[in-house]
Amino acid sequence: MTAKITNKILSLGSQQIEFPTSLTPGANVTITVGAQNLGDPAALAIEWVVSTPDGNPTLHYKTQIADYLIRTNGKHYFAGPVLVLDTEGQWNINIALFTSEGNVIQTDSYNGPLVYVGNAISKETSTIPKPAGIPHPEESMNPSATLTNINVNEIINKWLTGWEVPNEHWTYWKSTIDLQVYAIYPASLIAMGLKPDTPAGTWESGGRRHLAIKPQWLNPGVIAHEQAHNSYALLTSDQKVGYSNVYSTLKNSDPTIRLLYSKNQYGLTNDVEGHAEVYRYIGQWMPEQLKIFYPRLL
């Protein structure tokens, strides 16, 4: 790669926000993409296509290879025309960056979410009306649960149905993710950093995501929290930045998230724990703008 995309910015008035992000319907925005030339002095060009939530290409922006060279490590910003976000839902963008030191070649790209357009108020997209208070209240741990008297499959199914996980993803959560219940964690997991008295944990190894849990803590809420970590692991680094952008506003403004943090502050530990706690306690009734950051769960 001789040049790379370094910044992806949505400008709204004087506000500049890294995308993907969330905005309210009707916003007039412009897209700016920053690029850095990592190779010999070269000319750069860019092309992007924005698609509406229905998947229709709506804005096609393309520059010619410039007639001036960007020095080695120099940066250049491409600013496109105004885009009106008039449709609710997830808008996507496909960006291609080109460089020329003779031949024109594509050197970097981004193909993914641009912005989620929706109102801050949660919509009732669930078939079940949103319960008052905390929608999925905490279940207490069961001190008498053991490996022999628990029914793992039944508890996983309670999570999958109670949180309305889409049916097409059940196999992923039941088989692709490796879920194991341990009375005592094996030495290999302790060596990895899992503390002996931790209720549950997730990690990646051998190209697979794993979830370990103790029988006393095997309940739908704890599974929901841990599987949110496994869903977060599916996000790209851009999407993780997008999540933090959107969540940092909502954690102070969304009434249900505020209610949650008034009762239980664990989600304030960091954005990753916040991601898991919002899913565990609010689930399918979380604000619409957050849902794109929970792949295979919502």
Among the listed ranges 148-156, 160-168, 274-282, 283-291, the one in contact with Zn ion (CB under 5 A) is 274-282
* Cα–Cα distance measured from residue 39 to residue 74, given in angstroms and rounded to the nearest whole number: 10
* Cα–Cα distance measured from residue 250 to residue 137, given in angstroms and rounded to the nearest whole number: 20
Q: Is 276 in the site for Zn ion (CB under 5 A)?
A: yes
Instruction: Kindly tell me which of 33 and 276 has the beta carbon lying closer to Zn ion.
Output: 276
Instruction: Kindly tell me which of 280 and 291 has the beta carbon lying closer to Zn ion.
Output: 280
Q: What is the DSSP string of 76-98?
A: EEEEEEEEE--S-EEEEEEEEEE
Distance of CA 130 to the CA centre of its chain: 23
Instruction: Kindly tell me which of 9 and 276 has the beta carbon lying closer to Zn ion.
Output: 276
Among the listed ranges 105-113, 204-212, 254-262, 271-279, the one in contact with Zn ion (CB under 5 A) is 271-279
Q: Copy the structure tokens of residue 182.
A: 């341990």
How many residues in the shown chain lie near Zn ion by CB under 5 A?
A: 1
Among the listed ranges 24-32, 205-213, 242-250, 269-277, the one in contact with Zn ion (CB under 5 A) is 269-277
Amino acid letter, residue 255: P
Q: Dihedral sign for Cα 170, 171, 175, 176, please.
A: negative
Instruction: Kindly tell me which of 95 and 212 has the beta carbon lying closer to Zn ion.
Output: 212
Query: Minimum Å distance from CB 199 to Zn ion?
Result: 10
Beta-bridge partners for 15: 12
Q: Tell which residue, 265, 204, 157, has the closest CA to residue 212.
A: 204
Among the listed ranges 3-11, 165-173, 209-217, 275-283, the one in contact with Zn ion (CB under 5 A) is 275-283
Instruction: Kindly tell me which of 86 and 204 has the beta carbon lying closer to Zn ion.
Output: 204
Q: Is 155 in the site for Zn ion (CB under 5 A)?
A: no
Q: Is 222 in the site for Zn ion (CB under 5 A)?
A: no
Distance of CA 246 to the CA centre of its chain: 10
Instruction: Kindly tell me which of 43 and 276 has the beta carbon lying closer to Zn ion.
Output: 276
Query: Minimum Å distance from CB 269 to Zn ion?
Result: 8
Q: Dihedral sign for Cα 281, 130, 132, 292, please.
A: positive
Among the listed ranges 23-31, 122-130, 183-191, 273-281, the one in contact with Zn ion (CB under 5 A) is 273-281
Nearest residue by C-beta to Zn ion?
276
Q: Copy the structure tokens of residue 91.
A: 């808008």
Which positions from 38 to 57 touch Zn ion by CB under 5 A, shown as an x/- string?
--------------------
Beta-bridge partners for 208: 205
Task: Work out the burial of residue 208: count CB atoms within 10 Å of its CB; fewer than 13 is exposed, 13-18 middle, 19 or more buried.
Answer: exposed
Assess contact for 118 and 22: CB atoms under 8 A.
Answer: yes
Among positions 61-120, residues that touch Zn ion (CB under 5 A) are: none
Query: Minimum Å distance from CB 277 to Zn ion?
Result: 8
Among the listed ranges 12-20, 72-80, 168-176, 272-280, the one in contact with Zn ion (CB under 5 A) is 272-280
Beta-bridge partners for 213: 181, 200
Instruction: Kindly tell me which of 33 and 213 has the beta carbon lying closer to Zn ion.
Output: 213
Residue 133 CB coordination number (10 Å): 11
Contacts with Zn ion by CB under 5 A lie at 276
